[in-house]
Every structure is written in C-alpha cells, then in structure tokens.
Amino acid sequence: MRRRTLLASGAAALVPGGVLATPGIALASTDYGPAAWVPANSANFTVANRETSHNIQYVVIHTTQGSYNGTISWIQNAASQVSAHYVVKSSNGAVTQMVREKDIAWHAANWTYNTQSIGIEHEGFVEQDGWYTEALYQSSAAIVRSVCAKYAIPKDRAHIIGHSEVPTATHTDPGPRWNWSYFMSLVNQTTPPPAWTSTVDNTTAGRFTASDNWGTSSYSTQRFGADYRYANPEAISDAAWYKFAVPATATYRVEAWYPALPGYNTAAPYIMATTTGNQVVYVDQRSGGGAWRNLGTFTFAGGDYNAVAVSRWTSGTGLVIADAVKLTRV
C-alpha cells in the first residue's frame, strides 16, 4: 500500500507557494451535509472500507500552508501524492470534502494514523496571524462533532490532535496560533456562540444596493436614519439588497425597520438568502412602523454577501419601502 502523505518536513506545506487554482464544480457531500464534494485524484488516497477494515480513532488538525482553492487543486493533482478528507476555508468556513470517510486519506505522514484518522485541512499559514477565523473554528468544530458522533471518538485532546502530535511527525501545524482551548470548547459545545448583531441602513456605504427605480424620501418621521427608499410594486427582478458580513454559518434573527403609512405596501416581500435557498416573508407596511419588526429566524452561510432583500415583485398594493435590516445571531 502507498504510505505517502503530506510533505515530509517543515510546517504543513500542502500547496507549493500557495498556488491558486479553481476547483471543479462541487456536488454535495454524502458524508457531511454542509460540505461540497470535490474528489481527490485517485492516485492520492487508498480506497478502503472503514470501519470494517480499520477503526477510526482520531481526528488530525492540519494547516494548508496555502490557499483554499490551491489546496483543493493540489489534492486533485496526481503528482501531489497527498490528500485530506476535508478542507476548511478561512474567510467564511466553507467546507469541501475530497476523500470519503471510509477511505484512507494521505495526510498524517504516518500510515497507522492515516488508517485510523480523519484529516481536516484549514486554510492558512502557521507563521501568520489572522487565518484561524471564527468562521473557520465553528465550521471545523462542527465537522469534528459529526465525525466523533459517527465513530464513537472521544471528544478530547488525546483523540483530536494536531499534525505536530502524530508520532514521528516533522510538521508543526496547526502551530501556536491555533487556539486549542477555544476549539475544544466548540467541539464539546461548552461555550455559547459569540454574540453578533449587524444593522444595514439604506444609507450604509457599500452595504445597500438598489436601482434608480427606487426613489428616496424623508417624509415619514418613523424612518431609520436620514431617509428611506421606495418603489412601485411591479413583477420584475428589481430588489433592494442588504449586504452583511455574516461571521459563520448559523441561525440568525432577521428584523426590519420601515416607516408605516396607509399608502405603503400591503404585502412587501422580504427575501432571506438562506443556506436552503431564498425564503420570503411578506410584511404589511401600513402598520408596525418606526420599530424593529421580527421577521423570524433563518440559517445563513458565513461570508460577506447580499443576505436580505426587499422585492418589488408582489401582489400587494402601495409603495414598497426599503429602510433598515438587522441580523442577530441566536
């Protein structure tokens, strides 16, 4: 059997020079629902039938020493002779699975540990600050919880280890910047998720976008801030979008602020871009204005993107109003 894994020396160098590449179109993972599936090159792992052939007893934490896309590309390259079960992105915690959990990824530089472990690569560099983000920690801890539950792995530091802790390892990852105490508290769910809330108004720079079809008004004193936007209802794709830097994939409460007047829309559509697709809540903007109105809780993916919109496409009558939106992690 092949026993090649990550590079034999130095910090956990997986992508030479952090080479950038664009991975192929990702399908959904069958082992772990939140992950995309981009298969490793068949020359870079061993097909097996774990846990029949080998018991899975460990999770090994790695750092890529390169970019997320570059890591995925390198594992798809037959010349690399390396692989990992999962790769986690720094900025938003996105996860790609590249080797099935039943199969043996070449990641630990130790054949016995390869056969008995799940390898998770984390985008970043051991010697640089800023790569181990909240989104990355949260996503990785969720993978570890899933793996430990499936294979009865104790959720402790004897079984969840760094690459540097594998016997005979010459690698230093994940290194001193990895917060083991915090990570294990997430794995064991002994620490509540960090509080987070963010408000985007129609005047928030770089966070609100609407076409010229949306007018601006300061008529109602119930407005949030200096003014608000309005448009006639019409069956066209011309939504006003609110962009949020969502810290991690999690559940968030969505609240809307708008001024209420008799001539405003009877069923204004608020669109939430959730992990399961767009969800719509219709709001009667003739009442309940001048305060935060709870639209419900939704699961948003981590990342910086247009997360909530107010649409003009409605059977309701009256002007559609776009003022302010607030997201709060719950």
pLDDT at res. 248: 85
Cis peptide before 259 (omega within 30 of 0): no
pTM, two decimals, is 0.58
Element (H, E) at 61: strand 58-63
Q: Mind listing the pLDDT tens digit for each residue in 40-50?
A: 999 999 999 99
Residue 219, pLDDT above cutoff 50:
yes
Burial of residue 165 (number of CB atoms within 10 Å: 0-12, 13-18, 19+): middle
User: What are the structural domain ranges in the chain?
Assistant: 16-187, 197-329
Count CA atoms within 13 Å of residue 180 on its CB side. 17
- Using the Cα atoms of residue 74, residue 75, residue 81 and residue 82 in order, give the sign of their dihedral: positive
234: its two tokens: 């019409």
CA dist 18 and 292 (Å) reads: 45
The mean of the pLDDT values for the chain is: 90
pLDDT for 86: 98
Q: What one-character-per-residue DSSP string does 249-301 give? A: SEEEEEEEE----TTB-SSEEEEEEETTEEEEEEE-TTSS-SS-EEEEEEEE-
What pLDDT sits at residue 330? 85
**What is the reported pLDDT for 25?**
43
In this structure, which amino acid lies at residue 302?
G
How far apart are the C-alpha atoms of 320 and 20, rounded to whole Å?
A: 44
CA–CA separation, 254 vs 40, rounded Å? 39
pLDDT above 70 for 280: yes
pLDDT tens across 162-211, in order? 999 999 999 999 999 999 999 999 999 997 777 899 999 999 999 999 99
Tell me, what's the pLDDT at 15?
Answer: 32
Share of the chain above pLDDT 90, in %: 84
CA distance 253 to 171: 42
Whether the per-residue pLDDT at 56 is higher than 70: the answer is yes
**Domain covering 16-187 in this structure, CATH number:** 3.40.80.10
Q: Mean pLDDT over residues 158-165, rounded?
A: 97
Q: Is the confidence at residue 6, as pLDDT, over 80?
A: no
Q: Give, in order, the Cα–Cα distances in Å from 152 to each of 17, 145, 156, 280.
A: 37, 10, 12, 40
261: pLDDT strictly greater than 90 = yes
**What pLDDT band is residue 28 in, cutting at 50, 70 and 90?**
confident
Convert the pLDDT of each residue in 74-115 to its tens digit: 999 999 999 999 999 999 999 999 999 999 999 999 999 999
| pLDDT at residue number 152 | 97
Distance CA 123, CA 63 (A): 6
Length of the chain: 330
Pick the CATH number of 197-329 from 3.30.465.10, 2.60.120.260, 3.50.50.60, 1.10.10.10: 2.60.120.260
Least confident of 8-17, 166-175, 312-321: 8-17
pLDDT of 270 > 80? The answer is: yes
Tell me the H-state helices in the chain. Answer: 68-75, 111-115, 134-151, 180-187
pLDDT reading at 21 higher than 70:
no
160 confidence band (pLDDT: 50, 70, 90)? very high
Tell me, what's the pLDDT at 150? 97
Tell how strand 250-257 and strand 324-329 pair up: antiparallel
